[in-house]
Amino acid sequence: MSAPLRPLVREALSRLCIRRLFLGIHDAAFPSLPGEDVGRGTPHADGAEGLLALAHELGFGGLQLGPQGATSPGNPSPYDGAFFSRNPLSVGLAALARAEWGTLLPATQLADAAREVESPDRVDHERAFQRIERLLREAASAFRERKQREEKGRVGQMAAELAHFRVAEAWWLERDALHEAFRKERGGPLGDGLRWADVVASRKSLLASRDAEIEAYALVQFVLSAQHRQFRAKARALGLELFGDLQVGMSERDAWAARRLTLENWRMGAPPSRTNPDGQAWNYPLLDPRLYRREEASASRDGPALAFFRARLHRVFEDYDGVRVDHPHGLVCPWVYPVGSNPEVAVRRDGARLFESPDLPALAPFAIARPEQLDKGVARYADGWVRSLDPAQVDLYSILFDVLMAETRNHGRNSSDVAAEVLSTQPLPLRLVIDRHRLGRFRVTQKADLGRPDDVYRGENARSEDWVQMGTHDTPTIWAVAAQWIASGESRARAEYLAGRVLAPGEPRASLVERASRDRRALVQAQLTDLFVGPATNIMIFFTDLFGSEQPYNVPGTSASRNWSQRVPREPSAAYATRLHEGMALDLASALAQALRARGRGGDGLADALDGGAALSE
């Protein structure tokens, strides 16, 4: 029998000085077992254990999860999810049918819902939302009914635990539960018609009159909190860390609750870049910098906006081993555009960086950069717009990041537990703040410009603290990109470049170039090996690349129904082995073997063992 793969992979990673090898996946993509599958994945499903087992055996050190906050019925993007409320769609429903949760959900109802699922490979968000909401409503009704007539037993114990949870988490739970109740009443977003300040004024009467709705909401959040702890314990037992995702956007429910803390008349988006030349109109509110600090007493005291941000960070570090910071420019030098005009036009035509626009009357009060520090010869969004900053100015730009890193340390973590998603855009303020905290950036190698030796996406230009990856949840898969390279003829240049990266001295270059120029599997494998030869010490692989998908997980700037819908097959290990045999899955073992040879560190037989002597455990 072949040797288990994990110890060989972990030894290879150690020799290659790779600190972390993570698998990226979002909640909806997790696999479920047939009887529990209601059309959407969750890490809390029984079937999710199969993916944990595969990640463990392949040698991954952790999972990079997407944002896990509650989303709205019409918008499945996890990056528009809530900061504090977990997504009810991620409840492990099979557990509610077992005694551990008081059998709140009859197994027959779950089985009936599972039979309605059209495909286990794709999420139909609207139908899944309706199914899960119906089942959770029935479970909450059963809980309330049984609680009223039962003082002992599992439901009675849960009632006591839920009461404690409601008190401990009341500071966010009450407002989110009321928001959900009002949203359902109105059939959509609350808008300007109902302010959180008015809710606070009538808080006691609202809590009393809507106790059943609030309890139902709290029950789901209580279950999700417990299930997340269980999932984290399972991952930890397999040697897998969990990283959360600190998304840059603010959900509608958080913006409603924090309206007095956000900047009026402006929204945050993405500036034009090489990936999105027109920018992106995210329509996200952003915290008002004037409310970062308190004006009275000590200037070092948190103001209400900073306290809100710190509370969010506390939640993140309580739940995860580390964090991915989504679009860090939103915390340092956000690109903003005015409310009221066509956002798709305004984000580029009227957009500017909040802290470096002293020449714009509406934004001048927020300016940190001075006029003489700007290069008016380039576009406002260009990395070179700000030419210089003094240390006191960097302090101001770094306020939110300083709080982030302080909370990182307060929770026993360090800078290596923070992955900053700095992509092609890195203006001077962001670079100085990232350097201040010795953080890396992301190098997405499929985007490498081979005509520019200094291109940020080329693997050889990475620093040790960087995170290197072939693609993300927002890019085409490496399999689709490789097919395009071959069809266009670009594959030869890619193969030549990769041969210089992944071959050891004396290895035949011509044969690799020929194969990788016309054979997609060989080209993808060379691209994978490139991740392991350094100098970056953190590697991320998104699940669609691992399983050989040719379809993108998300197409940025679109709201297509297929976005956020791909799922891992129900039997991950078997599916991966089949795809690997077909040449349509990433062969991590072979890539590591070649990387060891390229670095001269596999001569004692480790490279050979990875190439042919190891397999997934049976």
Question: Which DSSP state fits 293?
Answer: B
Nearest of 459, 465, 486 to residue 598 by alpha carbon: 459
CA 48 – CA 70 distance, rounded (Å): 20
Where are the extended beta strands (E) located within 148-291?
241-246, 266-270, 280-284
Q: What are the φ/ψ torsions at residue 399 (nearest 5 degrees)?
A: -55, -55
Cβ count within 10 A of residue 463: 13
Per-residue pLDDT, 343:
86
Strand partners, 22: 62, 540
Exposed, middle or buried by CB within 10 Å (0-12, 13-18, 19+), for 311?
middle
What is the pLDDT, as a whole number, of residue 299? 56
17-246 folds as TIM Barrel (3.20.20)
Contact 443, 468 (CB under 8 A): yes
Question: Structure pTM?
Answer: 0.95
CA distance 137 to 423: 42
Residue whose structure tokens are 């041969």 = 499
Distance, in Å, from the CA atom of 287 to the CA atom of 255, rounded to the nearest integer, reads 9
Query: Do residues 537 and 465 lie in contact, with contact meaning Cβ atoms separated by under 8 Å?
Result: yes
Strands annotated E in 453-569: 467-469, 538-542
Positions of the chain with pLDDT lower than 50, given as ranges: 1, 297, 613-618
Long-range pairs of 187-194 with CB within 8 A, sequence gap ≥ 24? 189/72, 189/252, 190/252, 190/256
Give span(s): CATH 3.20.20.80, the chain. 17-246
Q: Are 293 and 303 in contact (CB under 8 A)?
A: yes
List Cα–Cα distances, 74 to 71, 377, 557, 590, in angstroms.
8, 43, 16, 43
Distance of CA 255 to the CA centre of its chain: 20
- In DSSP terms, 245 is beta-bridged to 324
Structural contact between residues 478 and 446, judged by C-beta atoms closer than 8 angstroms: yes
Place of tokens 């509610």: 96
- Residue 10 contacts residue 48 (beta carbons within 8 Å): no
What are the pLDDT digits (tens) for 455-502? 999 999 999 999 999 999 999 999 999 999 999 999 999 999 999 999
- Say what the alpha-carbon torsion angle 193, 197, 198, 201 is, to the nearest 10 degrees: 170
DSSP 365: G
Query: In sequence order, what are the residues at sequence separation of 6 or more whose Cβ sits closer than 8 angstroms to the Cβ of residue 311?
Result: 171, 172
Q: What H or E segment, with its residue span, contains residue 583? A: none
Count, residues in the chain: 618
Using alpha carbons, select from 9, 6, 28, 20 the residue that is nearest to residue 62. Answer: 20
What is the C-alpha separation between 153 and 199, in angstroms, rounded? 36
Instruction: State yes or no: cis peptide before 7, omega within 30 of 0.
Output: no
Phi, psi for 22 (deg, rounded to 5)? -115, 150
Q: In sequence order, which residues have a C-beta less than 8 Å from that of residue 188 and are 6 or more positions away?
A: none
DSSP 3-state assignment of 4? strand
Q: How far is CA 112 from CA 35, 62, 128, 134, 142, in A?
A: 9, 35, 13, 12, 18
Are 337 and 343 a contacting pair, CB within 8 Å?
A: yes
Q: Name the strand (E) or helix (H) holding 323.
A: strand 322-325
Residue 30 structure tokens: 């997790």
User: What is the distance between the alpha carbons of residues 228 and 231, in angstroms, rounded to a whole number?
Assistant: 5
Structure tokens at 393: 């100015």
CA–CA gap between residue 429 and residue 493 (Å, rounded) = 35
| φ and ψ at residue 348, rounded to 5 degrees | -100, -50
How many angstroms separate the CA atoms of 278 and 39, rounded?
Answer: 35
Helix H or strand E segment including 26: none
Tokens at 555, concatenated: 């197409």
DSSP string for residues in 238-259: TT-EEEEEE-SS--HHHHHHTG
Tell me 492's DSSP state: H
Q: How far apart are CA 48 and CA 92, in angstroms?
A: 10
In 168-321, where do the E strands start and end? 241-246, 266-270, 280-284
Residue 192 CB neighbour total at 10 angstroms: 8
User: Which of 42, 69, 225, 67 has its CA nearest to residue 135?
Assistant: 42
Give the start-end residues of each E strand in 333-377. 335-338, 352-353
pLDDT at 54: 98
The residues near 465 (Cβ < 8 Å, ≥ 6 apart) are 415, 416, 438, 439, 440, 536, 537, 538
| H or E element in which residue 22 lies | strand 20-25
Eight-class DSSP state of 566: B
